[in-house]
Amino acid sequence: MRKRDGKKNVKIRAPRKAEEPFSREENVETATLTEEEVKEIIEKQENDQNQIDEAEQTVAKQKSKKKKIWNLIFFLINIAVVVGILVYQLLTQEVMPLSTLFNSGFNFWFLVLTLFIFALTMFTETFRTSILINHTSGKWRPFLSYKVSAVGRYYDVITPLATGGEPFQILYLKNRGLSVSSAISVPMGRYVLCQLASILMSTIVLILAATTDIVGGVNVISVAFYIGYAINTAICLVTIFLSISKKVGAKLVAWALKFLKKIKIVKNYDKQYNKVLKVVSDYQNTMQEFAKSKWKFVLLALISIIQYILQYAIPFGIVCLFLGWRPDLFLQVFIMGVMIDMAASFIPIPGGSGVSELSFTALFASLFTEGTLFWALILWRFMSYYIYIIQGIVIIMYDYFIGNKKYSWLKRKWELEAESAEFREQKLRNYQRSKNKLI
């Protein structure tokens, strides 16, 4: 191949796969690239494939018999905590019978409002995912966006530290026709946006909690909130710093992992080092993509903040269910909802089981009359935990009986359309050649 000004004419051919009929990355392009640029492209493809392999391994582990047993154990722990709180309240105070509760001003319209807020929460998350999918693939796929959002939420709540959603989303998107690069970038974009929105809103809550008496001063829950906030903020800031400064960041990662290996916390240094740098690289690539479309990033950030506000408006709907319309309590309930989630964020148990229930009981006890706190806890836990499990199971069952078959038909349709388009193009080329010969 002949050199020209230090560059080579390189044809990069990405073979079109049957399951990736519409991806932008799969076009055949001829470009003048340097050897270094070609090397970077190859490395990125290898890294993407490695991440897909890791996602497949994570999914396989999650579906293993051992993991299912652990998930069942954690689920039973969650139920045991709720039962324990019920027993405690029965021993220390009365729990209002349901018949009495329904006749004591229990307003079902606020239950409808709470469910509507949940629906809006899922709508905003689906809309955000749909924009991310469109940005990487050029197609609007709203139903896929809803399903991948619901599946991500499902695996987040059943895995420790909410770490299971991203690998399942990557694999789900890949199996639904997105290219490897797109399948990775969509969940990573979601992660970045959620982190930024969470840190922003938590910082506001931190300031309000520290400067007002809304949560009753310093207590165990507020201390746990401060710890969770510090951990999550540190992770976000460190990731941003490492993505900005690659050389210094790589040295810091190496130093930190060597120290952790020395004190027996990290076992496989090379594996963890590559894993951290891969996360940092994905984070950097995501931020670079957002930088290319600033207005789209602003829109996605705004959607993420709205979704965050809606998520913590759900406890307010539950409070109104028992106390009637109390807009004066919205800020207090919002702050307490954020504090509960942040306090449970560093607990390595799915859904923060135990900590979440105890935190709710401690913070919301002053808002409810005797006998109604337990029912408020049950409704809140259903809307913040069990509803995502039910939604995820429904999506999984739908795919098993209908969705997978429907997609296989759709994939075949795309293949036939691609073959027809290629056949037409070939016919036109042959016709043009014949015409040129006659001329």
Condensed to tens digits (0 to 9), the pLDDT of residues 131-156 reads: 999 998 888 999 999 999 999 999 88
pLDDT confidence of residue 273: 77
Condensed to tens digits (0 to 9), the pLDDT of residues 234-244 reads: 888 888 877 77
pLDDT(430) > 90: no
Q: How confident is the model at residue 408 (pLDDT cuts 50, 70, 90)?
A: confident
- Which residue in 421, 136, 80, 422 sits closest to 292, CA to CA? 136
CB 104, CB 323: distance < 8 Å = no
List the structure tokens of 139. 């197609």
Condensed to tens digits (0 to 9), the pLDDT of residues 73-100 reads: 777 777 777 777 767 766 766 777 777 7
CB 52, CB 184: distance < 8 Å = yes
Who contacts 123 (Cβ-Cβ below 8 Å, separation ≥6)?
Answer: none
Q: pTM of this prediction?
A: 0.78
Packed helices 180-211 and 220-244: angle between N→C axes, nearest 10 degrees: 140
Who wins on pLDDT, 320 or 361?
320
Separation of alpha carbons 248 and 250, rounded Å: 6
pLDDT(417) > 50: yes
Neighbours of 27 (CB within 10 A): 10
As a whole number, mean pLDDT of residues 152-172 equals 83
pLDDT(7) > 50: no
- Which residue in 158, 191, 150 sits closest to 74, CA to CA? 158
- Which residue in 395, 214, 226, 205 sits closest to 308, CA to CA? 205
- Which residue in 194, 190, 182, 175 sits closest to 135, CA to CA? 182
Q: How confident is the model at residue 1 (pLDDT cuts 50, 70, 90)?
A: very low
Residue 30 forms beta bridges with which residues?
11
Percent of the chain topping pLDDT 70: 78
- Which residue in 434, 418, 397, 390 sits closest to 157, CA to CA? 390
- Which residue in 280, 272, 286 sits closest to 247, CA to CA? 280
DSSP string, 2-22: -EETTEEEEEE--PPPTT-SS
pLDDT(8) > 60: no
Separation of alpha carbons 182 and 59, rounded Å: 19
pLDDT confidence of residue 140: 92
Q: 43: alpha, beta or left, given left = phi > 0 and alpha = psi -120 to 50?
A: alpha
**Across the chain, what does the average pLDDT equal?**
80
Q: How confident is the model at residue 320 (pLDDT cuts 50, 70, 90)?
A: very high
pLDDT confidence of residue 55: 66
Who contacts 298 (Cβ-Cβ below 8 Å, separation ≥6)?
Answer: none
Amino acid at 346: F
Separation of alpha carbons 109 and 128, rounded Å: 29
Please provide the size of the chain in residues: 439
List the structure tokens of 178. 């997105």
As a whole number, mean pLDDT of residues 251-270 equals 76
Lowest mean pLDDT among 125-129, 228-232, 429-433: 429-433
pLDDT(369) > 70: yes
pLDDT confidence of residue 329: 93
Condensed to tens digits (0 to 9), the pLDDT of residues 53-77 reads: 666 666 666 666 666 677 677 777 7
pLDDT confidence of residue 29: 44
pLDDT(37) > 70: no
Going from N- to C-terminal start, the domains of the chain cover: 53-411
